[in-house]
Amino acid sequence: MSKVRTETTVAERARIIDAWEGDENGSKTLKEISEILKIKYTTVWKIIDRYKKSNSIANKAGRGRKQTFTDREKRSIVKFVKINPRSSAVDISNATETATGKKTSPKTIRRILNSNGYKNFRAKRKPFISKTNMKKRLKFAQEHLNKDQAFWDKVLWSDESKFNIFGSDGRIKVWRKKKEALKMKNLNPTVKHGGGSAMVWGCFSSSGPGKMEFVETTMNQHVYQGIIDRNVKSSAAKLKLGRRFIFQQDKDPKHTAKSTWAFFKTQKITVLDWPPQSPDLNPIEHLWDHIEREIGKTPISNKNEVKRRLSEAWETTPPEVTTTLVNSMRSRCIAVIEAKGGPTRY
């Protein structure tokens, strides 16, 4: 590695000139100055020689490497990223060369963006939320913000999820500032149940996990009703929720079909009026994350192994995990309200 070149300060140059010019006790030789100030002899000679010619020890105006881009061009680069946050540094470099005629490296582009507060982050995976559904989410959060913990403890939370054996996590990087992760243009919108090899339905309450069932066929309203019939009331009994428990489900079409609502009515099951596109409000999403971490601690090679691990992880989930998740409901409502119905950190 080449040695980094350092420059003498103006104060050091002043001491060199003072010693060279001398005082009532006389002046110093270049060698003496070098030894006293511990500065190379050649550096001392150059500073004195320059002083003789220019009568100045200050840096010359316009010294240093010239900037590739003007301030206006730098602002254009930042503007380009604001409009196209998913562009790579190479893409931005090419677009800048086309616009300005100046060839530059991706490294220079990164330096300009970094100096303006932009860093390259992985886009957070969040579901797309329409404006209509934002309003519904906001209304739900406002109406349930002050529900006491006893209300949430009576809820039986449910969801389906798929678990991969192999697969990509679909990472996408975007240029953004630190507190702009949840802006829609910086997100990686997801579609629920994207990919996987084992699909499960499960439910839980604050006191622990309820029943979990593997879904071996295409899920439709009739398959879903069978799952509900086999698992909901027995899970409520297992978790000691009593007869007045509240069942939570999302707004998937098979969940809201007329025959499904008729089934709930016949079974006298109270269903929570849940806002659409709201996995961040449902604590079971984080329970799935917990399960995925547990089964992912060692490699999995086939579907049977996935199913075995899922069953073990589900049954051994400690009550502290489920209690903590349900206790987060007030915080989740606050987050939705602060985001005005938009995506939250949950």
CA angle centred on 283, ends 280 and 284, rounded to 5°: 110
Burial of 118 (0-12, 13-18, 19+ CB in 10 A): buried
In the chain, what are the domain boundaries? 10-54, 90-122, 131-168+178-339
68 — pLDDT class (breaks 50, 70, 90)? confident
Q: What is the pLDDT of residue 196?
A: 44
For residue 209, give both structure tokens.
């996990």
Report the pLDDT averaged over residues 206-228.
95
Is pLDDT above 50 for 49? Answer: yes
**CB-based contact 321:209 (threshold 8 Å):** no
Q: Compute the distance between CA of residue 12 and CA of residue 29 in angstroms, rounded to an integer.
A: 16
Do residues 229 and 267 touch, judged by C-beta distance below 8 A?
A: yes
In DSSP terms, 44 is beta-bridged to none
The residues, ordered by sequence, that sit 6+ positions from 112 with a Cβ below 8 Å of its Cβ are 69, 74, 77, 78
pLDDT in tens, 251-275: 999 999 999 999 999 999 999 999 9
The H-assigned helical ranges of 296-342 are: 303-315, 319-326, 329-338
CATH of domain 131-168+178-339: 3.30.420.10
**Least confident span in 20-24, 120-124, 242-246:** 120-124
Q: Tell whether the model's pLDDT for residue 55 goes beyond 80.
A: yes
Closest by Cα among 287, 279, 290, 206 to 249: 279
- Would you state the pLDDT for residue 5? 59
Other beta carbons within 10 Å of 275: 21
The residues, any chain, with a CB within 8 Å of residue 244's CB and separated by 6 or more, are: 154, 270
Amino acid at 259: S
pLDDT bin (cut points 50, 70, 90) of residue 170 is: very low
pTM value is 0.62
* Confidence label for 173 from pLDDT (cuts 50, 70 and 90): low
pLDDT band at 300 (very low <50, low <70, confident <90, very high): confident
Residue of 302 and 285 predicted with greater confidence: 285
Range from 101-115, 186-200, 266-280 that averages highest in pLDDT: 266-280
Residue 12 neighbours by CB under 8 Å, 6+ apart: 37, 39
Angstrom distance (rounded) from CA 214 to CA 208:
19
Residues 100/73, Cβ–Cβ less than 8 Å: yes
Give the pLDDT confidence of 144-154 residue by residue, as tens digits: 999 999 999 99
Our separate counts of H helices and E strands in the chain read 14, 9
- Beta-carbon contacts of residue 246 (< 8 Å; ≥ 6 apart): 151, 154, 155, 156, 270, 271, 272
